[in-house]
């Protein structure tokens, strides 16, 4: 398996000699830092600019879907772009300035340029009384309005006077942009990796996911793989809906998938299962996390969250789970200006990438075999596979061979045997290789997913 020749290829549970967490973390952090200042939204130039940053990692292609395109129950909205926005007080001082933080503007605000009293302005203002120094993140994609987000301290300091309000934005026919990158494998069976790219200056949600996906794609590029891999960077909700609507015919090829979000904070890993609940990806991620010696939590699917909502809608129902550290909505900085470059850590992102590489190694390595000598044990010693002096306990490799032989009956994959034996998939996979070489085991026939 080509994957075993470098970082991405260590078998799960093993650590690879050339994995340099510090270097990888630094590179991920550099990407996030470069993406951070850009004002993204579900459409517009911010997405295009961001995807071009990721093209430094892999030659992903940009796809444009025209405004007005019908995608299932939805319609691709007009394209939004913004150049500047501010609120000036009567003395000309800016009390909210898009150039200082793009979170100050309600995302998708229509243009406005007007003087108004505080009483008229106030319904357009949003703040967080419980976190008085943070600017909230708010959007209004589908109702044409405008607004500003301020820290509670800014909001409270506003005098009852006249203000000059300016939002220099445009909202009109254009396109929804997404990025896509494919790595061909030995079969058309695909693994889908999806991350949303629509949030403005918020690091964990989801510059971390965008960057980790790009590095993951870079690591897998050029490898010899059994699955084909498809990476998409898409605006949340409307992006995955549009992508699904336009790719309905290829959905049967997608055998496994992951949504990546919030993978940069130092919290424990969280895996949210696919709607199917016991799909291959669900079992593989659980296996890798269980053998990771790191803290983690597993959750069943719920229809709240990110694009897994669409991938797992009842009429789509793909085997797609969601890989996170602290889930959206569950860290205090979520959807505020405090989700900044101090919340995400180089080492956290590197660890996330490493787990994902191990998950992919497990997907690639989860073979099913058939024991060619199923009546009693084969004589392993004759083949040099067993200790010559008896009376002692089995070595680990012998144990793994006995497990593989006993349960390779057509009904158990290596992952099934890993679950029964408690052994890591990589150990069983190595045992299977030895047994296959000795002519005692053969890959189970039939189409493999």
- Name 176's bridge partners: 65
- Under the binding rule (CB under 8 A), the answer on residue 388 touching a second copy is yes
Q: Indicate which single residue of 379, 395, 396, 437 sits in contact with a second copy (rule: CB under 8 A).
A: 379
Q: Indicate which single residue of 117, 142, 224, 294 sits in contact with a second copy (rule: CB under 8 A).
A: 142
- By rule CB under 8 A, what count of residues binds a second copy? 63
**Calpha distance 374→382 (Å, rounded):** 17
CB-wise, 162 or 399, nearer to a second copy?
399
Q: Which of residues 40-99 bind a second copy (CB under 8 A)?
A: 72-74
Q: Which stretches of 129-161 are assigned E, i.e. beta strand?
A: 148-149
Is 299 strand, coil or helix?
A: strand
**Calpha distance 178→239 (Å, rounded):** 7
Least Cβ distance, residue 200 to a second copy (angstroms):
11
| Tokens matching residue 103 | 């979170």
Q: Which of residues 189-208 bind a second copy (CB under 8 A)?
A: none
Q: Indicate which single residue of 240, 348, 427, 434 sits in contact with a second copy (rule: CB under 8 A).
A: 240
Q: Indicate which single residue of 113, 122, 268, 420 sits in contact with a second copy (rule: CB under 8 A).
A: 420
- Under the binding rule (CB under 8 A), the answer on residue 131 touching a second copy is no
- Under the binding rule (CB under 8 A), the answer on residue 408 touching a second copy is yes
Contacts of 105 (CB under 8 A, 6+ apart): 82, 85, 98, 147, 148, 149, 167, 169
Is 222 strand, coil or helix?
A: coil
Contacts of 381 (CB under 8 A, 6+ apart): 387, 388
Q: Please identify, among the stretches 44-52, 80-88, 134-142, 289-297, the one whose residues bind a second copy according to the rule CB under 8 A.
A: 134-142
- Phi/psi for 97 (5° steps) reads -140, 115
Distance, CA of 137 to chain centre: 21
- Under the binding rule (CB under 8 A), the answer on residue 399 touching a second copy is yes
Neighbours of 396 (CB within 10 A): 11
Least Cβ distance, residue 118 to a second copy (angstroms):
20
Q: Indicate which single residue of 8, 12, 46, 136 sits in contact with a second copy (rule: CB under 8 A).
A: 136
| Secondary structure (DSSP) of 57-72 | TS--EEEEEETT-EET
Least Cβ distance, residue 20 to a second copy (angstroms):
37
Which one-letter DSSP state was computed for residue 280? Answer: H
Least Cβ distance, residue 44 to a second copy (angstroms):
16
CB-wise, 232 or 361, nearer to a second copy?
232
- Under the binding rule (CB under 8 A), the answer on residue 337 touching a second copy is no
Q: Please identify, among the stretches 50-58, 164-172, 206-214, 240-248, the one whose residues bind a second copy according to the rule CB under 8 A.
A: 240-248
- Phi/psi for 222 (5° steps) reads 80, -5
**Calpha distance 132→146 (Å, rounded):** 22
Contacts of 148 (CB under 8 A, 6+ apart): 85, 87, 96, 104, 105, 106, 124, 125, 126, 165
Question: What is the per-residue binding string for a second copy in 271-300, x denoting contact by CB under 8 A?
Answer: ----x------------------------x
Longest dimension (CA), the chain: 93
Q: Interface residues with a second copy (CB under 8 A)? A: 72-74, 106-107, 126, 136-143, 145, 147, 237, 240-241, 244-245, 248, 275, 300, 302-304, 309-310, 312-316, 329, 335, 371, 373-379, 381-382, 388-394, 399, 402-403, 405-409, 420-421
């Amino acid at each position: 398996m080509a994957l075993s020749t470098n970082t991405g290829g260590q078998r799960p549970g093993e650590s690879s000699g050339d994995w340099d967490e510090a270097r990888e973390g630094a590179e991920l952090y550099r990407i996030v830092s470069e993406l951070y200042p850009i004002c993204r939204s579900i459409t517009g130039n911010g997405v295009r600019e961001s995807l071009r940053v990721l093209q430094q990692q892999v030659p992903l292609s940009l796809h444009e879907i025209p405004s007005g395109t019908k995608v299932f129950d939805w319609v691709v909205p007009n394209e939004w772009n913004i150049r500047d926005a501010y609120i000036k007080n009567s003395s000309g001082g800016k009390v909210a300035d898009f150039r200082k933080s793009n979170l100050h503007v309600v995302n998708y605000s229509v243009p406005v340029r007007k003087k108004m009293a505080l009483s008229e302005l106030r319904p357009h203002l949003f703040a967080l009384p419980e976190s008085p120094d943070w600017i909230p993140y708010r959007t209004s994609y589908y109702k044409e309005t405008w607004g500003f987000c301020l820290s509670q301290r800014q909001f409270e300091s506003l005098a009852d006077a006249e203000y000059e309000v300016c939002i220099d934005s445009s909202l009109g026919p254009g396109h929804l942009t997404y990025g896509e990158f494919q790595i061909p494998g030995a079969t058309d069976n695909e693994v889908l990796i999806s991350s949303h790219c629509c949030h403005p200056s918020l690091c964990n949600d989801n510059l971390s996911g965008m960057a980790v996906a790009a590095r993951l794609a870079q690591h897998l590029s050029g490898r010899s793989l059994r699955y084909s891999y498809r990476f998409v960077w898409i605006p949340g909700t409307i992006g995955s809906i549009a992508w699904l609507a336009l790719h309905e015919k290829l959905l049967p090829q997608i055998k496994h998938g992951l949504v990546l979000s919030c993978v940069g904070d130092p919290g424990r890993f969280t895996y949210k299962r696919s709607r199917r609940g016991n799909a291959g990806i669900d079992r593989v991620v659980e296996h890798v996390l269980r053998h990771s010696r790191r803290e983690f939590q597993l959750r069943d699917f719920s229809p709240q969250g990110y694009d897994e909502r669409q991938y797992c809608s009842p009429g789509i129902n793909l085997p797609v789970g969601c890989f996170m550290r602290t889930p959206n909505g569950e860290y205090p900085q979520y959807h505020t200006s405090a989700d900044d470059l101090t919340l995400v850590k180089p080492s956290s992102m590197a660890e996330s990438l490493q787990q994902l590489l191990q998950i992919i190694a497990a997907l690639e390595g989860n073979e099913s075999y058939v024991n060619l000598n199923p009546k009693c044990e084969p004589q392993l010693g004759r083949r040099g596979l067993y200790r010559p002096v008896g009376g002692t306990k089995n070595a680990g490799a012998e144990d793994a061979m006995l497990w593989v032989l006993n349960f390779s009956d057509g009904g158990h994959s290596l992952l099934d045997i890993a679950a029964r034996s408690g052994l890591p998939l990589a150990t069983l996979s190595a045992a299977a290789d030895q047994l296959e070489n000795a002519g005692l085991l053969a890959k189970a026939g039939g189409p493999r997913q």
